[in-house]
Structure 1
Amino acid sequence: MTDSMTSPPAHPTLPTDYIRAVLGPRDAVLDGVLRESLLQRSMPTIQIDDNAGRLLQLFTQLRKPARALEIGTLFGYSAIHIARGLPPGGRLTTIDNDPVAAELARANLVEAGVADRVDVVVGNATEYLATLTPASVGLIFIDADKKAYPAYLKACYPLLEDDGLLIADDAFAQGDFSAENDAGDDSRERAAIHAYNVAVSRAAKLFSAFVGTENGLMVSQRRVS
């Protein structure tokens, strides 16, 4: 008998197969959140993949931000991972312009036992970000309107503390984003993501790298000097 902890799976067809074989299935709470949100509430299946969620939790645990931000709540799947990684007393604010999604996210955060450290804000993200104190946020996760990624970068960069992390999902600009617009033409999304990637890669005050999740994360750290 083989053990997935000691022997690799035989000829996995996709990297995701190997990842799941080694890391094991998602926990029951996350499974329940997905079933309720996707099957019972028919939310769009555009949440982060499981390994990306684990990475968000890991980055949060390593950075230990007193304050974290998320742009794009959806039903709260990524917010749960970030909240799980927060240090004692740390708080996450997650922003979405859809009140229905925000209501479901609040319920899912309660189900996951992390609602006490998360504030769900309904409204325009760039307008909300403009009200925050500069250099006051230790970690920011962007996973919302892809066309607005350059605008989110402009709004988020001043908010980062020294050594703060800025993480963007769907960073592989060759992905399929047609489901996120009515026209079915994702050229604007692709162009905006590419512009974001180029900007953070060339910014003198950021150090950036791609992380190879299913859709790609771009992780940037604000340099101290």
Structure 2
Amino acid sequence: MTTLPTSYMRTILGPRDPALEAVLRESLLERHMPTIQIDDNAGRVLQLLTTLRRPRRALEIGTLFGYSTVHIARGLPEDGRLTTLEIDPEAAALARRNLRAVGVEDRVDVVVGDALEHLATVPEASLGLVFIDGDKKSYPAYLKAVYPLLEPGGLVIADDAFAEGDFSAESEASADPEREARAIHTYNRAVCRSPRLFSAFIGTENGLLVSYKG
């Protein structure tokens, strides 16, 4: 599978804006967070899709230190709001700090806890956009939980859709790369073969799979 070289995309897209550069420096160099955030092009794609879709309610599974969260928040309409779910309290606290530094904290709720438990409390057909970038083994379960929560015309976007990465830093110590890859493939097949979703891959560094609910 061939994608554009990261160096080429960085040259064409130009440098990161100072706010994003500061988020990465603070989170990766000073706080030593794992380097598993989305790549810059994927962030731009997320912001673009959010801008085009204009969801009043969006949800993210897997906040980490908030890099993808910033991009989604920047694409929201004036009355839009994003809920982002993170299992690690320390990562969530850093994400809140980063969101405040970038100036989007007023449109984001950072929720600490189990994603599936939170999803069970969300009203059906209330979300215009969902971004999935949490525990890879749970991708099929996330899809099952998220589908009824999407409004007609809503988007569900999954990161790491190429299932070729090392996900050990994103999971517990007993991470099983083969199991995680199988789970992602199960998710991919489910959304691509569903008659109720229209899906396409986007060639970011690790692959985004975007699905539209008709």
Asked if Structure 1 and Structure 2 have the same fold, meaning a TM-score greater than 0.5 normalized by the shorter chain, the answer is yes
Q: Please give the per-residue CA displacement for 1:41-79, whole angstroms capped at 9, x wherever unaligned.
A: 111000000000000000000000000000000000000
From 195, 199, 202, the equivalent of 1:211 is 202
Q: What does 1:160-179 correspond to in 2, within 5 Å?
A: 160-179=150-169
Q: State the distance in 2 between where 1:61 and 1:180 align.
A: 28
Distance 1:120 1:183 in 2: 27
1:27 matched to which residue of 2?
17
Deviation, structure 1 residue 176: 2.6
Distance in 1, matches of 2:168 and 2:47, equals 28
Q: 1:199 aligns with which of 187, 190, 195?
A: 190
The answer to whether the aligner puts 1:94 opposite 2:84 as a matched pair is yes
Where does structure 1 lack aligned partners over 5 or more consecutive residues? 1-13
Matching residue's letter, 1:166: V
Contact 2:34/2:169 (8 A) holds in 1: no
CA distance in 2, matches of 1:161, 1:184: 33
Is 1:138 aligned to residue 135 of structure 2?
Answer: no
C-alpha displacement of 1:15 = 1.6
Once the 2 structures are TM-superposed, how far is the Cα of residue 174 of structure 1 from its aligned partner?
Answer: 2.5
1:73-88 alignment runs, 5 A limit: 73-88=63-78
Q: Are residue 105 (structure 1) and residue 92 (structure 2) matched?
A: no
Task: Give CA-to-partner distance per residue, 1:78-103, whole Å, 9 cap, x none.
Answer: 00000000001100000011100000
Once residues 132 and 112 of structure 2 are traced to their aligned partners in structure 1, the CA distance between those partners, rounded to angstroms, is 15
Q: State how far apart, in whole Å, the 1-side matches of 2:87 and 2:7 are.
A: 34
Distance (Å, rounded) in 2 between the aligned partners of 1:83 and 1:179: 25
CA distance in 2 between partners of 1:179 and 1:91 (Å) = 29
Alpha-carbon distance in 1 for matches of 2:43, 2:166: 20
Q: Is the aligned partner of 1:222 residue 2:213?
A: yes
Q: Which structure carries more relative contact order (alpha carbon 8 Å, separation 6+)? A: 2
Instruction: Give 2:31's aligned residue.
Output: 41
Deviation at 1:183, TM superposition (A): 4.1
CA deviations over 1:81-138 (Å, ceiling 9, x no partner): 0000000110000001110000000000000000000000001101101111100000
Where do 5+ consecutive residues of structure 2 fail to align? none
Equivalent of 1:57 in 47, 54, 69: 47
Partner amino acid for 1:110? R
Question: Partners in 2 of 1:95 and 1:184 — Cα distance?
Answer: 20
**Partner AA of 1:136 in structure 2:** S
DSSP-derived class of the 1:31 partner: helix
Q: How big is each residue's C-alpha offset from its partner over 1:186-212, in whole Å with a ceiling of 9 and x where there is no partner?
A: 001100000000000011110001100
Whether contact under 8 Å (2:164, 2:206) holds in the other structure is no
In the alignment of these two chains, the number of paired residues is 210
Counterpart Cα distance in 1 of 2:54 and 2:175: 39
Between 169-178 and 16-25, report the one with greater CA deviation: 169-178
Greater alpha carbon shift after TM alignment, 14-23 vs 212-221: 14-23
**Residue in 1 that maps onto 2:147:** 157
Amino acid across the alignment from 1:42:
H
Identical residues among aligned pairs (%):
70
In 2: Cα distance, 1:19 partner to 1:138 partner: 29
- Counterpart of 2:93 in structure 1: which amino acid? E
